[in-house]
Amino acid sequence: MDTGLLIQVILSGLSVGAIYALVAVGFGVIFNATGAINFVQGEYVMVGGLSAAMLYEAWDVPVLVAIVAAVALTVLLGVLTEFGLLGFGRLRTPASITIATIAIAVIIKGAAMLISDRDTYALPSVLGAGSLQVWGASTSRQTVLNLLLAVVAVVALALFFQRTKLGTTLRAAAGDSETLQTFGVSYRTTARWAFVIAAALGAVAGAGLAPLTVMSFDSGTLLGLKGFAAAMLGGLGNPRGALAGGLMLGIAEAVMSGYGAAAYADVVAFVVLLAILTLRPTGMFGTAQAVRT
Amino acid sequence: MRKKISTLLTCSVLLALSACGLGSSGSDTDSDDTIKIGTLFSVSGAGANLGDKMRKGAELAVKQVNADGGIDGKKIDWVFYDPAGDTSTAVQQTNRMLDSDGVELIVGGGGSSGIALAMDPITSGRGVAFIATEGARQIVEPAAEAHPLTFKTTFNDTVMVERLIAFWKAHDITRVAFMPDTSSFGQSAQEELERLAPEAGIKVFTAAFDPAANDLTPQVKRLAGNDPQAYLAWTITPAGVTFLKNLRSVLGDSDVMVMHGFGFVDDRYMQQAGAASTGTILVSPKLPVWDRIDASDPQQPVMEDFATAYAEEYGGEQPNVYAGQAYDAMMVAVAALRATGGDTDGEKIADAVEALGTHVGVTGAFKFTADDHSGLTVDDVAVIQWDGSRFVPVE
Amino acid sequence: MSAGLQISGVSKAYGGLQVLRDVTLRAPAGSITAVIGPNGAGKSTLANVISGFVTQDAGTVVVNGATLPPGRAMTRAARRLGRTFQNLEVFTGMTVLQNVAMGAYSRQRGGHLADLVRGPRSRRDEREVHEAARALLDRFGLEGRADSLVESLPFGEAKLVEMVRVLAMEPEVVVLDEPAAGLPPASALPLAQTIAGMAADGIGVLLIEHNMKLVMSISEHVVVLDQGQVLTEGTPTQVQQDARVIEAYLGPGPMTTEELTR
Amino acid sequence: MRGRRGASDGTRRRRTAWELWVTIGLLVVLPLLAATDYSLHIWTRMAIFLILLTGLNLIQGVAGMTSLAQAGFFGLGAYAAGISAVRYDLPPLVALVVAPVVVTLVALLVGVLSMRLKEIYFTMATLGAGFVLFLLFGRMVELTGGPNGLVGIPPFSIGGLEFTEPIMRYALVAVLAALGAVVAHNLLVSRTGRALRAYGASEPAALAVGASPFRLRLLAFGLSGFYAGVAGALEAFDSRFISPSTFDFMTAVLLVVALVVSGAGRMVGPILGALLLTGIEVFAADYADYEPLIMGVIFLVAVQLFPRGVAGELAVRWEERRERAQRTGEAAGPAETAETARTTRTTGTDGAPAMIEEVGR
């Protein structure tokens, strides 16, 4: 067996998986707060990566500044998303919110297409372009940073959910406005915070993804869906599960690319989604009740 | 209140629908002073970038022709729709152009082979000429028997692959790693390459990839196990940038040949891959290196005029191959229309196209015949290289 | 084996919490048996075990001699066991008539695919069910409401619809989970009449109820649950005088009329 | 006595029947309004959407479970019919039968695997199934023609009669769409439809009366697949070319959103949804660059304005007015009624059979 290929497959899986994990965590945060699936999550990644790259490439903004600005912009978009969904007080069920998120995702994507004039934009890594050699395989330095970001995000969120008042409320809420009222917190407030966190996570994922490839208005949608599959794999709403799910999905795809029928690599995510829902719908680390009684 | 809104909405939808059907029963088909040409390119959706370039190419041609006084005094009335990469939308829009908008001739097949293939039966069924700008050879083959009214101004993958094989032979390359994307663009090339390469004694190792993939190192590493002398990617998507970066990362400094198909001939892509793109070899029309080829080439002035006019029209932007193909398609249509004296009858146009002799366009010298509705040959393909700042011809 | 409901040795624990402990009781056909007890005594869990919404850890539920499969709620209708719910459970978005017709669901034998073509059999079946439902509505004075959406009804009437739906099942045993909950005092009398009417029709009624006045006025037999166990049982008079019952409900001290009637 | 009963018994059913007649009426009248080749093409497309949405309405509107697999099933039907005709030379009529059978079987399989999931999880399982199908259309090149699409599908024909004229193509689709609407209507007014609705309203009560949610929902999902299969086969024979792009995630989403906006659970929802989809398609074509933006804004506004759908909102107003008229002078005031509504578990409170509102509960 070719160990070089094996290591390469694992590295590739971790590289892509770190991004999936960040997206998956974002899905979980919104799910916990509203009970809905936020289809805008993938577009946050796109906006984060694309706007950072556009700032850098078209306006010569320094990389780090561009990333910070991109995160800020995406967070603003997160707040706007929350307003677009709940600001009119008419959408009350997770299903209707979920459907409205799709409409917002389409709007954001359509606007990004016009603003970027359909062009692709690249962002260099803050760590430079070099690659790391590991036992006959190689990966970019950005991969290490992305893994680090994913782990830090998950740990920080786990602490946030357990240690802070807002975090406990967010976790306990799980979309139940009655519970929230007993906490003396409004549904809107928790939802807004959830969208701020989710958008920030998405933007970070985008800024981490951009140096690995190039960004366009179309970079987010499929990534969002795969990130969702990762979230389901780990257990929707569980940050540690999202990390594990993301990395495992990344590795599963890489294994398919490296050893199986490479053309079918992108089917893996959705087969995994179907399989996990069938076999263990709460995900591997999930606690939510997914099956009817 | 809300009831009123909903009633209003329902009524307006109904009205709008019946109006679009009623108001345009082929009414403005035959206006004497214009010729209606219809075009579909996907300027939104996954291939939007490409579609936009094609639209610009076609638009430039229309503007130039109309500025020059049109075709025998008739201006081109250009109808454009965006099928967003979806064939069934494209079918609906094609019907709309032909039945409702009074379009007499169609140029441009949506920017993807699937769409052009879907449009062809409709245009053929109405006896309308169709000049496609998409790659798959099934769009026009077999020409005489099945597609008498349909042409395309793109290279057949066969032509490209033949040129590649000749190039590899000249450089003693017998083992090639091939990475097509899973789109129709990649798949068509894969079929051709896997058909023609073995006959030429070249061994091809294939690993496909999803156009939305963000990391191709497993495929590269896997193919590296076969010790190929050249790596060839076939895609039009940004994943090609990832391919270049990953290849450089996995292979280090080894001096294998890194190649891309004509879909990736784009300055921006090359620049965005950074150092990883330097030295990349591509098969392409001559357009990207128009200023580096022999001035005696009849194509040279045509390309120069086009590149200059395009940059002027679109704020300094350099035209890519796709813009060139769309421009050529429109110009072939115009040349044929001039030959028929503005008659848009499908068969007359088809005859005129076949009788054009050599039409020197920006992406090649087209020689359409009754049996060849692609018109381009291996002679029109150039092998070019990205030298780190621009494309240059490879000797 | 006698007709009616027989529960033997039913136990249920959630985690470490023993909610029901070896509960045995009978609700014979044609009479009203009440289950009372303070909050948390396990009354609702008992109703859920009987109707199959909760799977017991041990013990059996027997209707007319047939043991019911534990934890399978949808098998109960075929055994002619019906129930109502503490929180009103009606089919919103459907008319009162349709709500009641749903009660006859398990008595309709036509195949689902036959419904797609609405053959003569399917139509006849539907007509019979609707006629029966209509007759029931007439009987309970709801005929004017037949085509109203159920959620547009006043609460008391909606509760009655739920009860009529259960009757449309042609049940032999009925479990009523807090039927008086949320009703204004004025509705207590018609409710009592309705429940008494069920028993008079030969149905075995198990009445789980907080309202002491209601329980004491119509029950023939009262079972007192406390902390998951049967504390005592007997006629309403016996139970009312039992010191343990008074203690379980109120702690030491005399029971006031006010407490009893709530 | 008898007469009064008959009259009021019919009210509800007649109201649903009225919605059915609107659907069939529009199918007949629309081509008369505008019978150019192009408008017939548009109406044909509308009728195909109608079949898709009628099927989707059974699982999403009536059973209250949002399915994102409808586009994938649509594609499976189209490919099953196309492949039968192109690769196996089966007569189109046979292909038209094969397609829905294949799709129904696949839908039943997916349903068996996912039917016990809670709504939102079920929706995501259907998303997975739809996406896997979509990707397979593009990857199984030998069979499907891959991303380039499947060429050479013959026109529909019975015996020697070829359906090539636009009016005949429309007639074929319209007749099947009308038939589909009738079957859906039958289901809705029968005990099966009643039980499916009941599940959306109160799961415990439905269980208590003995309705099997698993079997009923599986039936609804299988039927939605059957409708998608018919629609797919018709699409294949109408376009005579199919490629994966038609059956992508966006199509799945559009179908769901169109149904929600127009009125999930109502008989008249699918036809409104189909008109909306074709209307937007025709309207947006004139604004190439802004099409996605326009689409998104329209849907967001529509979802916010009509969370119960246009038909749902209309029905609510209608019921309220009727109730008010009926209730005048009666003892029970509206306040108490509202109280009832709050106590019941619906979130849609004021009277719509707003299945979609209940989905997440």
Q: Model confidence at B145, in pLDDT bands (50, 70, 90)?
A: confident
Domain end point (choices C144, C168, C192): C168
**What 3-state class would DSSP assign to D262?**
helix
CATH 3.30.110 matches D12-358: no
Residue type, B41: F
Rounded Cα–Cα distance for residues D312 and D354 (Å): 7
Query: DSSP string covering D160-223, please?
Result: TEE--SHHHHHHHHHHHHHHHHHHHHHHHHSHHHHHHHHHHH-HHHHHHTT--HHHHHHHHHHH
In the block, residue with structure tokens 């329902």: B10
* 3-state secondary structure at position C261: helix
**Residue D346: its chain C contacts at CB < 8 A?**
92-93, 151
User: Which tokens in the block code for residue A139?
Assistant: 């990966």
By 3-state DSSP, what share of chain C in percent is helix, strand and coil, each rounded to 5? 45, 25, 35
Contact D352 C112 (CB under 8 A): no
Contact list, D205 vs chain C (CB under 8 Å): 85, 89-91, 102, 162, 165
Q: Cβ of A273 under 8 Å from any chain D Cβ?
A: yes
Interchain proximity A8–B216, CB inside 8 Å: no
CB contacts under 8 A, D 325-344 vs B, are none
- Beta strands across the sheet bearing B175-180: B203-206, B175-180, B230-234, B257-260, B281-285, B381-386, B391-393
Chains that touch A (3 or more CB pairs under 8 A): B, D
- Put simply, the answer to whether C94 touches D198 (Cβ < 8 Å) is yes
Chain D contact present for B355, CB below 8 A: no
Count of structural domains within chain B = 2
Instruction: Take residue B195 and report the two structure tokens written for it.
Output: 């058909």
β-strand pairing of C66-67 with C81-83: unpaired
Helix (H) or strand (E) holding A132: strand A131-134
Question: Does any domain span residue B16?
Answer: no
pLDDT at C87: 84
Helix axes D119-139, D92-114, angle to 10 degrees: 140
Q: How many domains does chain C have?
A: 2
Residues in chain A: 293
Whether D169 and chain B come into contact, CB under 8 Å, resolves to no
Which region among B125-129, D200-204, D339-343 has the lowest average model confidence (pLDDT)? D339-343
Distance CA B183, CA B186 (A): 5
* A196-199: long-range pairs with CB below 8 Å, 24+: A196/A75, A196/A78, A196/A79, A197/A26, A197/A29, A197/A157, A198/A26, A198/A27, A198/A29, A198/A30, A198/A38, A198/A41, A198/A44, A198/A78, A199/A26, A199/A44, A199/A74, A199/A75, A199/A77, A199/A78, A199/A79, A199/A81
Which of A9, A118, A262 is opposite residue B208, by nearest beta carbon? Answer: A262
Residue B246 pLDDT > 70, yes or no? yes
Per-residue pLDDT band at D174 (split at 50, 70, 90)? very high
Is residue C19 within 8 A of residue C73, CB to CB? The reply is no
Both B188 and B70 in a single domain? no
Q: Which chains touch D (3 or more CB pairs under 8 A)?
A: A, B, C
Residue B1 has pLDDT above 50, yes or no: no
What pLDDT is stored for residue A174 in this prediction? 59
CB count, 10 Å around CB of A255?
18
pLDDT digits (tens, 9 = 90+) for D267-287: 888 999 999 989 888 887 777
pLDDT at A292: 56
**pLDDT for A286:** 62
Q: What residue spans define the domains of chain A?
A: 18-219
Q: Is the dihedral of CA A238, A244, A248, A249 positive or negative?
A: positive
* CA-CA-CA-CA dihedral for B267, B269, B272, B275, to nearest 10: -80
β partners of residue B81:
B40
Average the pLDDT over C212-229 and give the result: 87
SS3 assignment, position A123: coil
User: Which one is predicted more confidently, B385 or B7?
Assistant: B385
- Alpha carbon distance D4, D264 (integer Å): 32
More confident residue, C256 or A259: A259
* C181 and C69 within one domain: yes
Low-confidence ranges of chain A (pLDDT < 50): 293
pLDDT given for residue D343 in this prediction:
37
Which residues face A134 on adjacent strands? A137
pLDDT value of position A181: 61
Residue C88 lies in a domain: no
Distance (Å, rounded) from C-alpha A214 to C-alpha B386? 18
- Position C72 pLDDT exceeds 90: no
- Whether the pLDDT of residue B181 is over 60: the answer is yes
d(C-alpha D23, C-alpha D188), whole Å: 15
- Find the residue in A nearest to B46 (Cα): A218
Average pLDDT rounded to a whole number, residues B280-306: 89
**Do B59 and B102 belong together in one domain?**
yes
Give the pLDDT of residue C213.
Answer: 81
Task: Enumerate the residues of chain B whose CB falls inside 8 A of the CB of residue D39.
Answer: 18, 20-22, 25, 100
Domain boundaries, chain D: 12-358
Facing residue for B221 by CB, picked from A4, A217, A255: A4
Q: Is residue C185 part of a domain?
A: yes
Residue C15 has pLDDT above 80, yes or no: no
B255 to chain D, closest Cα gap in Å:
33
Contact partners, residue A83, CB within 8 Å, separation at least 6:
none
Q: Cβ contacts (< 8 Å) between D207 and chain C: which residues?
A: 52-53, 73-74
Residue B195 lies in a domain: yes
Strand, helix or coil at C224? strand
pLDDT value of position D11: 43
Domain co-membership, C208 together with C140: no
Cα separation, D313 vs D310, in Å, equals 5
Residue type at D341? A
C189 within a domain of the structure (yes/no): yes
What average pLDDT is seen over chain D? 81
Residues C191 and C156 in one domain: no
| Token couple for A200 | 């920030």
Are the CB atoms for B222 and A5 separated by under 8 Å?
yes
> What pLDDT, on the 0 to 100 scale, is given for residue D337?
45
Best of A270, A276, A293 to substitute, by most chain D Cβ atoms within 10 angstroms, is A270
Inter-residue contact D153 to D85 (CB < 8 Å): yes
What's the mean pLDDT in D297-320? Answer: 79
Which residues in chain A have their CB less than 8 angstroms from residue D129's CB? 274
User: Strand, coil or helix: what is C17?
Assistant: strand
Cross-chain residue pair D113–A229, CB shorter than 8 Å? no
Chain D residue whose CA is closest to C124: D190
Q: Residue C85: inside a domain, yes or no?
A: no
Instruction: Identify whether residues C76 and C181 lie together within a single domain.
Output: yes
Question: Which residues of D are less than 8 Å from A103 in CB distance?
Answer: 257, 296-297, 299-300, 303
Co-location of C61 and C187 in the same domain:
yes
D45: contact with B, CB 8 A cutoff: yes
- Asked if residue D333 has pLDDT above 60, the reply is no
Contacts of D97 (CB under 8 A, 6+ apart): none
Q: Report yes or no on C86 lying in a domain.
A: no
C-alpha distance from A117 to closest chain D C-alpha (Å): 10
User: Within a domain: residue C87?
Assistant: no
Query: Hey, is the C-beta of B222 within 8 angstroms of any chain A C-beta?
Result: yes
pLDDT value at residue A77: 95
Nearest by CB to B218, from A12, A119, A214: name it.
A12
Q: How far apart are CA B207 and CA B195, in angstroms?
A: 16
User: Which of D36, D37, D147 lies at the smallest CB-CB distance from B183?
Assistant: D147
Contact (CB, 8 A) for A216 and A119: yes
pLDDT value, residue D322: 67
Query: Does residue B37 carry a pLDDT above 90?
Result: yes
Residues 230-269 of D with CB under 8 A from B: 235, 239-246, 248, 251
With 60 as the cut, is the pLDDT of residue D4 above it? no
Q: Which two tokens stand for residue A208?
A: 């981490």
DSSP state, residue B149 = T
Q: CB-CB: which of B10, B25, B188 is closest to D310?
A: B10
Contacts of residue A58, defined as CB under 8 A and 6 or more positions apart, other chains included, come to A121
Indicate the average pLDDT of chain B.
Answer: 87
pLDDT value for C255: 46
CB contact set of C19 (below 8 Å; sequence gap of 6+): C12, C13, C42, C45, C228
Domain region containing B219 = 157-291+381-393
Split at pLDDT 50, 70, 90, the class of D146 is confident
Tell me the pLDDT band of B45, cut-offs 50, 70 and 90: confident
The reply to whether omega before B142 is within 30° of 0 (cis) is yes
Binned at pLDDT 50, 70 and 90, residue D352 comes out as very low
Q: Are residues B263 and B347 in the same domain?
A: no
Kindly tell me if the per-residue pLDDT of C228 is higher than 80. Answer: yes
Q: Each residue of B63-103: pLDDT tens digit? A: 999 998 888 888 999 999 999 888 888 988 999 999 888 89
Same domain, B273 and B228: yes
Q: Which domain CATH number covers C27? A: 3.40.50.300
State the number of CA atoms in the 13 A half-sphere of B101 facing the CB: 25
Residues 170-189, chain A, touching D (beta carbon < 8 A): 175
Smallest CA–CA distance, residue A182 to chain B, in Å, is: 34
What range does the domain containing C76 cover? Answer: 1-80+171-262
Residue that wins the pLDDT comparison between D226 and C56: D226
Q: Rounded to the nearest 5°, which phi and psi values hold at B154? A: -120, 165
pLDDT for D326 equals 61
pLDDT of residue D56: 95
Q: Is A2 on the interface with B (CB under 8 A)?
A: yes
Tokens in use for B327? 């421009």
Summarised one tens digit per residue, pLDDT across range D13-23 is 445 678 888 88
User: Do the Cβ atoms of C209 and C84 come closer than 8 Å?
Assistant: no
What pLDDT is recorded for position A76?
A: 95
Would you give the DSSP letter of residue D146? G
DSSP state of C68: P
| Cα–Cα dist A289/B234, whole Å | 46
Task: Please tell me which residue, C38 or A291, carries the higher pLDDT value.
Answer: C38
The mean pLDDT value for D325-346 works out to 44
For residues C147 and D173, the model is more confident at D173
CATH number at residue B52: 3.40.50.2300
Which of B235, B237, B249, B268 is the best residue to mutate to test the A interface, defined by the most A CB atoms within 10 Å of its own CB? B249
How many cross-chain Cβ pairs, B to D, lie less than 8 Å apart?
149
Per-residue model confidence (pLDDT) at position D3: 37
Q: Do D288 and B43 touch (CB under 8 A)?
A: yes
Token representation of residue B381: 């393909």
